Amino acid sequence: MEEGSAGALADTVARAAVALRKARHVCVLTGAGMSAESGIPTFRDALTGLWSRFRPEELATPEAFERDPKLVWQWYEWRRELVRQSQPNPGHYALAELARRVPRLTLVTQNVDGLHQRAGSSDAIEYHGNILRDRCTREAAVASRADWSASGLPECAACGAPLRPDVVWFGEPIPSGPMLRAADAASHCDLFLSIGTSALVYPAAGLAEAALGAGATVIEINPNPTDLTPHAHLALQGPSGQLLPALLAALRDG
């Protein structure tokens, strides 16, 4: 990084810290970039993103699961293993600390990896579910697995119906609790932080729009520009695992 651009970034971090110091309710939306530095691949990064190697319509839709549950389960078991082997990064810990330093913070995550919770953000709103949980396809509730399964696929311990990962697939609605809580926070916050998301997938991407519409200050943290960048009041261009701790340090020093 050139000295000039490093100086500009430090200046933007300092301005973001000033905005945070004034904020009464901070709403944060995180996406896959937040966990990139924990070794979990994003979806849309050109070389490393999951959707550059896999087709979402074959793996992440209800139709795909109906067609080939074994294939879908194999893919999710592989992703679960990646999640189990990963650790929260300094960005996750910085956000958990930020929640203790502002009057109110609502954390909404599109990530299904549970890393925010493991870093101490126990009340994170899981907008797209959690990959480590199973859900019963009959009872539509979180379920545990039967010890023995006739089909070779995970089955519900209570009723024997097939289990699926407790995540939101393409074409499915967001669960109403997370959807309502997130919409309420986005439209009532005075500062909105969009971190590590391409801001392309709705309704999550609409949360920043709701915050902008309600007059909140919008700050983005992302190494790459997104559709949100031109509308954000401040854009911190770099990895969240470095910039969030830097933001916390600026907040502490101010």
Q: Which residues are catalytic?
A: 128
One-letter amino acid at 10 equals A
Q: Which of 224, 227, 249, 254 binds ligand OAD (CB under 6 A)?
A: 224
194 touching ligand OAD, by CB under 6 A: no
Least Å distance, CB 217 to ligand OAD, is 19
Candidates 188, 168, 71; CA nearest to 127 is: 168
231, 203 in Cβ contact below 8 A?
A: no
Token digits for 237? Answer: 């261009």
Q: How far apart are CA 135 and CA 62, in angstroms?
A: 13
33 touching ligand OAD, by CB under 6 A: yes
Nearer to ligand OAD, 106 or 240 (CB): 240
45 touching ligand OAD, by CB under 6 A: yes
- Exposed (0-12), middle (13-18) or buried (19+): which is 241, by Cβ within 10 Å? buried
223 touching ligand OAD, by CB under 6 A: yes
Least Å distance, CB 204 to ligand OAD, is 6
* Chain centroid to CA 223: 16
Give the bridge partners for 242, in sequence order.
none
201 touching ligand OAD, by CB under 6 A: yes
Contact residues for ligand OAD (CB under 6 A)?
A: 31-33, 36-37, 42-45, 49, 60, 110, 128, 168, 196-198, 200-201, 221-224, 226, 239-241
